[in-house]
Structure 1
Amino acid sequence: MSFIAWIIVACEVAFWVVIILGLLARYVFKLDKAGLFLLYLTPVIDLILLIITGVDLYRGAAATTAHAVAAVYIGVSIAFGKSMIQWADVRFKHYVLKEDSLPAKRYGIDYARHYLKGWFRHVLAYLIGAGLLALLVFTIQDPARTEALVNVWRIWTVVLGIDLIITITYFIWPRQAKA
């Protein structure tokens, strides 16, 4: 596993550790400001990942799939970060504090609309991540060194298209409640 791959793993672990610590500070220790501070550190983790990846490529490393995944990770983290924190917040309240805070399950057109909002977030993540990939490809200007970046970009484009098809199917065949 490459250095960059380990950095991505470390950033993902740090992301969730910071969220858990922020939730513990907020709800268990009643330190609202400290909890919010910790939760607001999540973009700093993304910035660290971006800087390390950029420095590695600037020093002449051939771009790998790990470098591309760093761009994907940053896009996803920015686009979905707030909703991931809200998701963790609700489940922390439910499972740790034993509050009845889980949202009701969504069905029918409500589920389709909710999934569509998620797809729009996916588009935002794609625009950010693909923009970073394009910036790296443009900056390096060596197709041999950036082939992995372009390949991940292509795969992500296909995944985004598949996600759109799935989104559309929820409007055609709405999700039904289990009997």
Structure 2
Amino acid sequence: MVLTVIVACEIGFWVAVLGGLAARYLLHRRRLSVVLLLAAPLLDVVLLVATATDLRSGATASLEHGLAALYLGFSVAYGHRLVHWADVRFAHRFAGGPAPVRLTGTAYTRACWADVARTTLAVSVAAVVLLGLIGWVDVPERTEALRAEFPLLGLILGLELLWAASYTVWPRRPAEAATAR
């Protein structure tokens, strides 16, 4: 059940975002756009309640319950950025806005380190949700799968750190410089 709710929330997130952007740029209905864009974070609450309810009603924690915590952390940390990313592209395509800028060099390196901060927030939120669910259920035998998610959180953060470090040592070159080699 939880996996179905995760998929539905992900689909709902993109429907809310794209619907909000369509309302803003195609229909010129700013209020409707705001309402639709605000619906996206409400889906996180739905997912959290569904996950907690499923566990509290006697379900044994599984990978899906841990995935729900990861999804919530990612949504909290990266949700605004994803909406901004989509907004820039939607405005360019449908409203004559400026083209998206591809970051290179130091600017891209700074963006990578900002992603380290976002990923740290995502991992922290996921860890707090996992701990909250473990405490909520309060039956260690049923929450073992949630405890097993903590090493994955460390791996995710470690990979993000490696990514940022690699672009610190070898900055991304502008497209024309990369093809001139």
Identify the range of structure 1 (52-61 vs 154-163) with the bigger mean alpha-carbon deviation.
154-163
Residue 116 in 1 paired to residue 113 in 2?
A: yes
Partners of 2:70 and 2:126 within 8 A in 1: yes
Q: Which amino acid aligns with 1:145?
A: R
- What TM-score, normalized by structure 1, do the two folds share? 0.93
* Superimposed CA distance per residue, residues 92-131 of structure 1 (whole angstroms, 9 cap, x where no aligned partner): 1223x16252332111111100111111111111111111
* Superimposed CA distance per residue, residues 31-65 of structure 1 (whole angstroms, 9 cap, x where no aligned partner): 00110111011111100110011100010100111
- What TM-score, normalized by structure 2, do the two folds share? 0.92
User: In structure 2, the residue corresponding to 1:116 is in which secondary structure?
Assistant: helix
- Residue 99 of structure 2 is matched in structure 1 by 102
- Residue 10 of structure 2 is matched in structure 1 by 12
Identity of aligned residues (%): 36
- Residue 32 of structure 2 is matched in structure 1 by 34
Detail structure 1 runs of 4+ shifted over 4 Å in the superposition: none
Q: Which amino acid aligns with 1:160?
A: L
What is the aligned length? 176
Return the alpha-carbon distance in structure 2 between the equivalents of residues 176 and 147 of structure 1: 45
User: In structure 2, the residue corresponding to 1:41 is in which secondary structure?
Assistant: helix
Instruction: Please list every run of 5 or more consecutive structure 1 residues that lacks an aligned counterpart in the other structure.
Output: none
Aligned with 2:154 (options 143, 154, 157):
157
> What is the alpha-carbon root mean square deviation over aligned residues?
1.3
- Residue 139 of structure 1 is matched in structure 2 by 136
